[in-house]
Structure 1
Amino acid sequence: MSLYRTELRRLVKRRFVRYLTLAGLLVLVAVAIGMFVTNERIGPAQRAAAEQAAERDYRQNVESAQQYRAECERVAATGATSERGFPADCSTITPTPRESFQAQWYLPATFDFQEEFSTALVIFAAVLALVVLLAGASFVGAEWSSGGMMNLLLWQPQRLRVLLTKLAALLTGVLGLAVVAMAAWTAAFWGIASQRGSTAGMTSGVWQSFGLTGLRAAALVLIAAALGFGLASLGRHTALALGGVLGVLVIGQFGVGMLLSMANVRFVEAWLLPTYLLAWMEKKVTLQNYDACQASYTGNCEAVTMDITWQDSSVLLSVSLVLVLGAALWTMRRRDIT
């Protein structure tokens, strides 16, 4: 019997992997349902209601300004405007211009596929990456803790071949899940945009951009699965991968972030992992430092910026993957099964 097919079947049959995958898919379904419920297609009725709401707020603003000015003039007659907080010249109290009440600000939320689907892909990648990281850790970690790995090595004593075959089976299953789930995710949000928003402006260039974002999402999911697999292989237990994730989130993110903030380090976000994951998905993240500025040609003080690109993220992800998997393979070859 093929070792690869055996491991692939074992991956599919694991109850923890099944339940975890189901939970992740249910989270994605809940997100899609929430987007459907909270968005609305904009038509003539919605635009008319927005115009009425803008006009109503403008009239209320005019009425409030008139009442405030009348009160100011009444107090000014007693000469106590400064004591009551009114300006010295009550004529400066004027209502906000009508142009400040734009009808578009009163329109209900609507899902524009061209503008917002990239954000939906980021959510998809984040949820699925967490799921497969835990699934990958459990897939190999349970084998060590239950003694199944030792029995397997008696049947197939080539340690590296066994570990790499398990990894290949894991990545194959994860890739299949990612492709099917992403196709369903795209179809679901296309339906949401058709019923509760707009699908206008979808050119071939936009589809190509979404396709590249989808490829980066799939790559991130595969990397997460491999990292979870590698961490659990190093510690020979699923708990090591979970502890590593918690350590990165709690110590590496909150702790380091607070420490750098207290030290007044510029661009604290540049030291945090989520920034690089977001840059990987969105191609670039621009950080801004409002504590420092640089003079522009107009004389204005503009915030200093720093760009984190997907190339920077690819270096971080590649180095992490090589270190974790390399260490897992090295320890597998070095240790004896006892």
Structure 2
Amino acid sequence: MSLTVYSTCPQSKDVPAADYLDAVAATARWSEEAGCAGMLVYTDNGIADPWLVAQTAIAATEHLAPLVAVQPVYMHPYTAASMVSSLAYLHGRAVHLNMLAGGFRHDLLALGDTTEHDDRYARTVEYTQILTALLRGETVTRQGRWHTVENLKLAPALPPELMPEVLISGSSPAGRAAAAEIGATPIRYPEPLGTASDDTASGGGVRMGIIARDDADEAWRVAHERFPADRKGQVAHAMAMRVSDSHWHHELTAAAGKTTPRADLDAEPEPYWLGPFENYQSFCPYLVGSHDRVAAEVARYLERGTEVFVLDIPPAPEDLGHAGEVFARAGAAVRA
């Protein structure tokens, strides 16, 4: 059984500027100590540049790989390839890539980008093919729909052993097709397993948060304390829904309310929870409950061939420790 876990880096908009470097470094160290392969670094118009944040994470750790979100609208594919090879040259470290096709609609419009949903995936495919060919050391000539390059070669060259893993959103048919075309791992925002609309596709990865404790009531107490109901957030979520063309955003909204309520006082509730998503506090579902109950749910994903888990931002190192306990128990259950 192959399993890769990424954490997620805090965003600069959520941390005072004077504290942000320390927050990035601390989360990177927690992630490495917990056995994570890497740490996702977000990008959008309102937060610090992910490549500079990635360098901070590299400097604070020994082998953790930043998983840098790459928005094709922001930079030429040569520039992105140069970032990867330059960080490898300076630090001898790998950088993994989370290829984006979309983003917040107002961010794209502010940049003059009105490209439709499926065309954005086609653009990301072309972009990634140029980027990865450069990283493989090829001299690239291509007359594409979005980029034209001629006899383009990357320097400094990237050592083959530091070639990045590539991830891309795979919640939509266009995303899954793009993943297959570029050889990337498709990452889904999963619906509750077993529902009528549940995507039963095997393999790939999922993006979710985990709040687990020895006692289920304690886990749910932490969850509601961390993500309280917020009317302002609910309004923001509704407004975002009205303008979003994101496939996963609409799927998760439709999935709200599909979880099974607690049957009696002695039974744990279903662990799948969309509270943070519905209150505009996070953009992924959560699994909440006792270690054993959450592990049983994670085991169901593993049995379907899920190989990558991208966890939400950890507020403290113990959260990654509890998630690690969940993955250990889930793995043991699948191997049994």
Give TM-score, length-normalised by structure 1. Answer: 0.25
User: Hey, which of these two has a bigger chunk of helix by percent?
Assistant: 1
Which has the bigger relative contact order, CA under 8 A and spacing at least 6? 1
Give TM-score, length-normalised by structure 2. Answer: 0.25
User: Hey, which of these two has a bigger chunk of strand by percent?
Assistant: 2
